[in-house]
Structure 1
Amino acid sequence: MDTKRISATLEEALSTQMNVELFQSHTYLSYGIWATDKGYDGIGNFLMRHSLEERNHAIKFMQYVLNRGGKPTVSALKGAEGDPQNLTDCFNRVFKHEVENTEKIYNLVNMAFEEKDWATWNFLQWFVKEQIEEETLAMDLIDKLKIAGGDRATDESLFNLDKDLGKAEDDAELARNANSENP
């Protein structure tokens, strides 16, 4: 009896996304190494913790495909696109990666919808929500750096930003959690 509960098309697409998440993990790790090498230990720590979160996203895709009777395929990963030029470039790249990842998640949602694979569509809703958080987090990084002075920030401002991000939560506050008492 065939117990596979996912189409070959979605199985392949979800495997591809698993590998995208692994690439994201390597990218964040690369940026974290770059930041630490530049003396931004807090920012480096923040980015390296985020690398682990991205790896965990890959594991979610892997486990889902296995649970649906499929077999995910791990492919070779390309390296990150090189070191950022500065913190502005680093944070802008983080945002760009998250927006591109959001588009990939939306494409998977559309595929599941077209196939009427409601289990996969439902599974992907967690990632839709997660990408809102990821984009918000990336925008917050850009905003914090702008407030600190951007590329012309003082050493003191960058020191404080680095210290704050080293202790920062990895999750962004979501609008859906807001209410009249907690805007």
Structure 2
Amino acid sequence: MSTKRISDAMEKALNDQMTREAFQAQVYLSYASWAEVNSFSGIANFLYKHMNEEREHMFKILKYINDRGGETKIEAIGAPPENPSDIKDCLEKILQHEVDNSAEIDKLVNQAHEEKDWATFSFTQWFVKEQIEEESLINGLLDKYTLASEQKEGNANYYELDKDLNKAPQSAEIPREEKL
């Protein structure tokens, strides 16, 4: 592209975020493998899917940089952290990664606003929404884990009840008076 429509500073910031997304994918890959080796196939499947989602985020940023006339810089990705100690630790670590990533997305939004780079500001809004969804999803999984695993008086069946209520109809038939 002959015309660059992005500042050097924004180009660097987006490249840095692209590398963070690649790192996030590595974390999900590492934790998915850990889960699979420890016979948590459902959790492994969930994490493998999220690994692919993070790679899609990385590619979305790469294409945006290129489409705005910038140049992507493919950097080395750091090694993922140590394996989690258990499922709760895994979910808590994932949540922290998502919270940290949200903070970095917020920095991009702020930078785009300060530069009056409305195209990038608009582009980053998708990531803001995505991070809200990701944090909410992982928080929900932590809540389910707590219901399923922690012994508290009276919660023996809360996890099953929650699953049932999730599928329950949202309306009920009202009995009608019989006409004689």
TM-score (norm 1): 0.81
Structure having the higher Rg: 2
Amino acid at match of 2:69: G
Q: Determine the C-alpha separation between the residues in 2 that align with 1:2 and 1:114.
A: 25
Give the superposition deviation at 1:95.
Answer: 0.4
Q: Which residue of 1 aligns with 2:116?
A: 116
Structure 1: where are the runs of 5+ without partners?
A: 165-180
Structure 2: where are the runs of 5+ without partners?
A: 164-170, 172-180
1:97-176 matches, cutoff 5 A: 97-150=97-150
**What are the superposed Cα offsets for residues 77-121 of structure 1, whole Å, 9 maximum, x if unpaired?**
111111000001000001000000000000000000000000000
**What are the superposed Cα offsets for residues 96-154 of structure 1, whole Å, 9 maximum, x if unpaired?**
0000000000000000000000000000000000000010111011111101114x7xx
Q: Determine the C-alpha separation between the residues in 2 that align with 1:141 and 1:33.
A: 19
Q: Determine the C-alpha separation between the residues in 1 that align with 2:135 and 2:88.
A: 16
Local SS of the residue matching 2:89: helix
Q: Which residue of 1 aligns with 2:93?
A: 93
**What are the superposed Cα offsets for residues 29-68 of structure 1, whole Å, 9 maximum, x if unpaired?**
1000000000001100110010000000000000000000
Local SS of the residue matching 1:123: helix
Q: Which residue of 1 aligns with 2:80?
A: 80
Q: Determine the C-alpha separation between the residues in 2 that align with 1:124 and 1:131.
A: 11
Q: Determine the C-alpha separation between the residues in 2 that align with 1:141 and 1:73.
A: 35
Local SS of the residue matching 1:80: coil
The two structures, once aligned, show a CA RMSD in angstroms of: 2.2
Amino acid at match of 1:139: N
Q: Which residue of 1 aligns with 2:55?
A: 55
Q: Determine the C-alpha separation between the residues in 1 that align with 2:51 and 2:147.
A: 25
Q: Determine the C-alpha separation between the residues in 2 that align with 1:35 and 1:2.
A: 47
Amino acid at match of 2:12: E
Q: Determine the C-alpha separation between the residues in 1 that align with 2:106 and 2:63.
A: 20
Instruction: Report the count of equivalent residues.
Output: 157
Q: Determine the C-alpha separation between the residues in 2 that align with 1:144 and 1:61.
A: 33
TM-score (norm 2): 0.83
Does 1:69 find its partner at 2:63? no
Give the superposition deviation at 1:2.
Answer: 5.3
Local SS of the residue matching 1:104: helix
Q: Which residue of 1 aligns with 2:177?
A: none
Runs of 4+ in structure 1 over 6 Å off:
none
